Amino acid sequence: MAATSALGLRVVGFRLAGIAALAAMLVACGHSGGGRDATASAIAQTAGLEPVASKGSTFDLLIYRRDDGRVGPLFVYIEGDGLAYLDQRTPSTDPTPVDPLALRLAAADPGPAVLYLGRPCQFAPGRGDPRCSVRHWTTARFGADVVASIDDAISRERIRNPERSLVLVGYSGGGVIAALVAARRSDVSLLVTVAAPLDVADWTRRMGVSPLDGSESPLDQAQRLAQVRLVAFAGQRDMTVPVDSIRSAVARLGARAELIVVPAFDHRCCWVSDWGRLRELAWRSIH
């Protein structure tokens, strides 16, 4: 995913910024909201993930679920920031991801129980939600109301599956949300983040982007997160969320946090194709 569309990266340099802006705009024009919804639906259907109606108290979310009745954990996948920006200064009018990587991870999960959560304001449920505003996918993308909406959806699912171990998996900005949710809860067995800027302030400084006013940072909850087992995956070639930024965050979260750097991976490649192995690696860390 291009840096500008994934996390609002403000690329320095007129020529590079112009190319990035043009590419992002062409992507946005070539994939309507309905087209992006159809892409998600096709991914979910192929993997046996069924849509779940969500009329949340804070936001309406796109939710998919699969439960085949086998014994095992519930893996909850939280989507990334999607198409948050069209270029380094222009927010998108629809943050629905063109290619939802967290949904692809959920589809590749071989476990017995999977829950996928789109982010507020994404996909058809969010697109029509009058409670959404541009700030909810830009500066306040990690705000308290956004986190509460994800937490609420997980709590409702837990009523159906109270006996399963709970594993939260978040991709990119979804990893930030997953960490903030984990800090609120007492039932998270494992937190897994994939290419996630866990130290939001450090990430914005390193990337030269504006502070995310209105957002929370997982490190503000470091004491609570230190009680949760964390496996943080990072791509060695990731230019959107550099390894050093993730490394510094993991170091601050103590002995229960582990960083795993995958040498050939960047921000998008090749998490999905290797997810079966990586998922097992994370799950075994608590057994």
List, as one string, the DSSP characters of 113-168.
Answer: EEEEEPPTT-HHHHHT-TT--GGGGTTTTT-HHHHHHHHHHHHHHHHH-TTS-EEE
pLDDT the model gives residue 55: 77
- Bridge partners, 76 (sequence order): 115, 168
Integer CA distances (angstroms), 121 to 22, 58, 124, 208, 214, in order: 24, 11, 8, 26, 16
Query: Of the candidates 169, 180, 185, 252, which has an alpha carbon nearest to the alpha carbon of residue 221?
Result: 180
The answer to whether residues 54 and 153 touch, using CB atoms and an 8 Å cutoff, is yes
CA distance 122 to 47: 21
Q: What is the pLDDT of residues 36-92, one digit of tens each?
A: 999 999 999 999 999 997 777 789 999 999 999 999 999 999 999 999 999 878 999
End-to-end CA distance of the chain: 33
CA distance 64 to 49: 6
- Residue 26 contacts by C-beta under 8 Å, 6 or more apart in sequence? none
How many independent structural domains does the chain possess?
Answer: 1
Residue 212 has pLDDT above 50, yes or no: yes
pLDDT the model gives residue 36: 97
The enclosing domain of 26 has a CATH number of: 3.40.50.1820
CA distance 82 to 16: 21
**Model's pTM, two decimal places?**
0.90
Integer CA distances (angstroms), 77 to 65, 73, 96, 114, 192, in order: 10, 13, 16, 8, 9
For residue 245, what are the domain limits?
3-284
- Bridge partners, 116 (sequence order): 64, 77
Q: What is the pLDDT of residues 105-150, one digit of tens each?
A: 999 999 999 999 999 999 999 998 999 999 999 999 999 999 999 9
State what percent of residues in the chain have pLDDT above 90.
83
Residue 185 has pLDDT above 70, yes or no: yes
Q: What is the pLDDT of residues 253-270, one digit of tens each?
A: 999 999 999 999 999 999
Residue 134 is classified by DSSP as G
> What is the mean predicted confidence (pLDDT) over 139-168?
96
